[in-house]
Amino acid sequence: MKLAKILAAGAILTVIAGTASAYDADWKRGRIYYRSVCTSCHAASPVGSINPSTKTKAEWTAYLQADKHAKGKDTVSGYVSKAYRAKIKSGNKAAEKFADTPDAELAADIKAFLIKGAKDGDSPATCS
């Protein structure tokens, strides 16, 4: 009887640990942030908008992993950080909406959107 209780408790902990450890990225939330924050800034710069379909999944993955933005002058993670969102939230509704979203979750959401919308993704996307 005691062994059965221990095994049952172990099975429950295994299920809980398995479901709590992985974050399932939300590409829709990533799309909102990318289009509202990234695209709005790029559209105002000489670079112009950068559509997700301009790169392949491997290129987006490498870009995000390198964490270099503006030819290495900035970091990608800096533009996803809570500090950056707090800085721009008065003029950007998406930054305000996601102000309390953990950085890692928002970064995963953006990556999911970029991978889905990549040139070779499931649904190549533009930012129109």
The residue extents of the domains of the chain are 27-117
User: Please, how many CA atoms are within 13 Å of residue 80, restricted to the half-sphere of its CB?
Assistant: 23
For 5, 35, 36, 58, 113, the CA distances from 32, given in Å and listed in that order, are: 47, 5, 6, 22, 9
Q: What is the pLDDT of residue 85?
A: 97
Mean pLDDT by 10 residues, the chain (128 residues): 46 42 90 93 82 94 94 93 96 95 97 96 76
For the entire predicted model, the pTM comes to: 0.78
On whether the CB atoms of residues 124 and 60 are closer than 8 A, the answer is: no
Task: Report the SS3 class of residue 61.
Answer: helix
Q: What is the pLDDT of residue 47?
A: 78
What are the DSSP calls for 15-32, one per residue? HHHHHHS-----HHHHHH
Q: What is the pLDDT of residue 35?
A: 93
